[in-house]
Chains A and B, each alone.
Chain A
Amino acid sequence: MTDTPPPRPRLSMRTRQALWVWGFLALPVLFYGVIRFYPTVEAFWLSLTDWDLLSSPKFIGLENYRRMVNDPAFWKVFGNTFLYLIIGTPVSLVLSFAIAYFLDRVRFAHGVIRALYFLPFITTASAMAWVWRWFYQPAPTGIINGALGRLGIPQLDFLQSTTWALPSIMVTAIWAGLGFQIIIFMAGLRAIPNTYYEAARIDGLGEGAILRRITLPLLKPTTVFLVVFSSIGFLRIFDQVYNMTTNDPGGPLGSTKPLVLMIYQTAFSSYQMGYAAALTVVLFLVLLCVSLLQLRVLRER
């Protein structure tokens, strides 16, 4: 009886496992590489060129950025974008938290009320924008101005004014995103164990103190998520603005124009792809900074 040991596998178990793991990982890596990172890198490169889509891109170094810094239209749009961010995000968060906080206690028709709040979020942004646009019209067609007129209050110009156009659009954007934020806040509120509240009440803490000491700190992960999420949303605002001011995109004298709309116009109506790419790079960096900053600030506290 000649007994030969079974041939040893050429690769050890460990190596084979590692190969499998890397094999599976390769797919998403490839996907991200091709679908996400490659275009991003390409955009950086495009921002250094002069390209009108028709002829081949011409390398011009930092010329697009130099032009941007000297372009008053860019600074106007940049300011608008930040206005959307610094007004929109806190207002929408405070509102949605307040609504979620109280809605959490409502027992009567809870589901219906919640659904009503959520409804705007699932409605098409353009349809919503057109309805709001009609609300904002001057009397006699616009219902807000119609109501003001009946009360003897002079009408507001809303979208026709360089001062009020941006807040008017912001209101619709906040209103549209509210449902989502409320749902998330409510989920967060529900996740806080009831025993904490019971203990606090036994210790004789008032409602205000409970809110400050228990609810808000425990809601932090939810809040961080919503702050980042809604900031990104406001920095990328487009649908509402584009649809509410189709005649004069970006409002009278660019008063409501956000960065994304400027990118769209630069790229697809003026065909200045290089300049549009440079604007995109700026938007990307702003988004990145704002997100990192918020994550950091809210984590440390």
Chain B
Amino acid sequence: MRKYILMAGLLAGASSFANTAGAVEIEYWQYIYETRVKAMDQLIEKFEAENPDITVKQVTFPYDDYQTRLIAATMARKGPDVLQFFYGWADKLIGGKVLQPLPEDTFKAEEIEADFFPIVTAMKRDGKYYGIPTAVRSLALFYNKKLFAEAGIDAPPATLDEFLADAKLIAKKDDAGNFATIGTTMDMPGQDIHWWREVLVRQFGGAPYTDDYQTVTYDSDAGVAALKWYTDLQLSEGVSQQGFMGDGQAAFRGGRAGMTVDGTFRLGSFRSIEDFDWGVAELPANAEGVRSNYASYFANGIGSSSEGEKLEAAKKFLAFVSSPEAMELWLSVVGELPARRAAALTEENLQDPIYAPFLKALDYAHTTLTVDELGQRQITIDMTNRVLLQGQSPAESVAEAAKAEQAMIDAAKK
């Protein structure tokens, strides 16, 4: 017995000795999302095998807590060395000195811009990059092949007019006049907010914001027409109902919606559908063939408190998680698309009926820069609700929303 205790003591001593002998431990933070945590575990294992002197400790928090934890830890100088963050939080995290600019010796701006999809520039402030993504996400149209076949439609809609026509063929009501099946989902709190903001407004001939996203410009004929088209899906065309089955995702999964606009991140959840086959198509173009999309991503950056040998290790780790090899693993485990052109646009991916529409979208996608992501989202949701629930005219509602959002952006600048 005594011998074992002695042995255990020796082992413990030996391992702690090994730790002090030039080894460095860095912390990687992200929020809890099962497949992402799993993918990162695998990446860390590979990284540690290649770099025996570096240990990476993964720390995770629930999504709701994540930002608060980041900020609190940074204030206490106990922040992470490498962290994952949503691109929309960048300004907040840079302003709060949670992030430090990526060291230019390892991460050169020209190289990043050449290798990654254009949306990566949302990470650039004053010529410096603060993060780079491993994977990106874009939107596409998911359609229920079974409902399409029953309605006698053989291909997904290519234009908005076809989209509306198909939705009309699919939507069905029961004897009481309630929807049994909707043609398309309406879910502003879901991805429709992006569909309206970055896609529909542009397809109706406008732009949602100026290029620097500091001025709201959707208070225009295009914005009004886009909102009218969207709300008419429920109000006059009768092909959809907001909140049907709770949210768009549930309605589509339940097989009671012909189409839904959703993102790459939904692939995992939709893959478990067994009752019907579904397909993915690019978001419909307008009559002139104009397409647009919204892409977003979680980037990895380096924490402001990382310095010295930890910073060196953090640089290595960040370079590793944004390598093509890591991106392939991310695609297979999480289902998100590689952020590097070369890793994404492989022959195999472009032939893939599911990945291809998302990948094609990346070249014409926009990435909205927000000052208060949830606040700005709420303004768009309320704008739609005023038309759907209170009968306000789209023109008035758009004007009211634009005013509120501009005020929010201006207040954040101070």
Contacts and interface: CB of A to CB of B under 8 A. Distances in A.
Interface of A: 52-55, 133-134, 137-141, 145, 149-150, 152, 154-155, 159-162, 247-248, 252-254, 265, 268-271
Contacts of A248: 188-189, 378, 381, 385
B232 interface: no
Interface in B336-352: none
A152 B178 CA distance: 11
A106 B254 CA distance: 45
B178 A162 contact: no
By CB atoms of chain A within 10 A, which of B95, B177, B178, B242 has the most?
B178
Given A53-B72, A53-B96, A137-B245, 7 more contacts: A137-B243, A139-B176, A139-B178, A160-B389, A248-B188, A248-B381, A270-B372
A75 to B, nearest CB: 16
Interface of B: 64, 67-68, 71-72, 75, 92, 95-98, 174, 176-180, 187-190, 241-247, 254, 256, 372-375, 378, 381-382, 385-386, 389-390
A149 B68 contact: no
A131 to B, nearest CB: 12
Given A55-B96, A247-B190, A133 B246 contact: yes
Contacts of B188: 248
A138 B245 CA distance: 7
Contacts of A161: 389
Contacts of B372: 269-270
Contacts of A265: 374
A154 B176 contact: yes
Contacts of B92: 54, 271
A182 to B, nearest CB: 31
B244 A247 contact: no
Contacts, number: 86
A68 to B, nearest CB: 15
Contacts of A137: 243, 245-246
A155 to B, nearest CB: 6
A54 B373 CA distance: 17
A275 to B, nearest CB: 11
Contacts of B72: 53
B189 A152 contact: no
Contact of A149 (B67, B176, B243, B390): B176
A269 to B, nearest CB: 4
A150 B98 CA distance: 57
A253 B404 CA distance: 14
Nearest to B408: A270
A149 B174 contact: yes
A247 B241 contact: no
Which 6 A-B pairs have CB atoms at the shortest separation, nearest pair first? A54-B96, A247-B189, A139-B178, A149-B176, A269-B374, A252-B385
Contact of A141 (B64, B189, B245): B245
B70 to A, nearest CB: 10
Given A162-B389, A253-B385, A138 B179 contact: yes
B178 A253 contact: no
A55 B385 CA distance: 36
Contacts of A55: 96
B68 A268 contact: yes
Nearest to B179: A138
B75 to A, nearest CB: 8
A133 B245 CA distance: 10
Contacts of B68: 53, 268
A137 B245 CA distance: 6
A207 B187 CA distance: 56
Nearest to A53: B71
Nearest to A138: B244
9 contacts: A54-B75, A54-B92, A134-B246, A138-B179, A138-B243, A139-B174, A253-B382, A269-B372, A270-B375
Contacts of A270: 372, 374-375
B242 A160 contact: yes
Nearest to A252: B385
A113 to B, nearest CB: 33
A47 B188 CA distance: 34
Contacts of B178: 138-140, 145, 149, 155
Among B71, B98, B187, B190, the one with the most A-chain Cβ atoms within 10 Å of its Cβ is B71
A154 B243 contact: no
Contacts of B247: 247
B174 A160 contact: no
Contacts of A252: 385, 389
A229 to B, nearest CB: 28
A137 B241 CA distance: 12
A270 B386 CA distance: 23
A21 to B, nearest CB: 39
B383 to A, nearest CB: 10
B179 to A, nearest CB: 7
A83 to B, nearest CB: 18
B390 A54 contact: no
B69 to A, nearest CB: 11
A253 B374 contact: no
Contacts of B177: 154
B390 to A, nearest CB: 7
Nearest to A149: B176
Contact of B243 (A134, A152, A159, A162): A159
A138 B241 contact: yes
B389 A140 contact: no
B118 to A, nearest CB: 28
Contacts of B71: 53-54, 271
A53 B72 CA distance: 8
A145 B389 CA distance: 18
A138 B382 CA distance: 20
A160 B374 CA distance: 20
- With most chain B CB atoms within 10 A of its CB, the pick from A54, A145, A154, A162 is A54
A252 B187 CA distance: 12
B246 A269 contact: no
Contacts of A140: 174, 178, 180, 256
Contacts of B98: 54
Nearest to B254: A141
Contacts of A145: 178
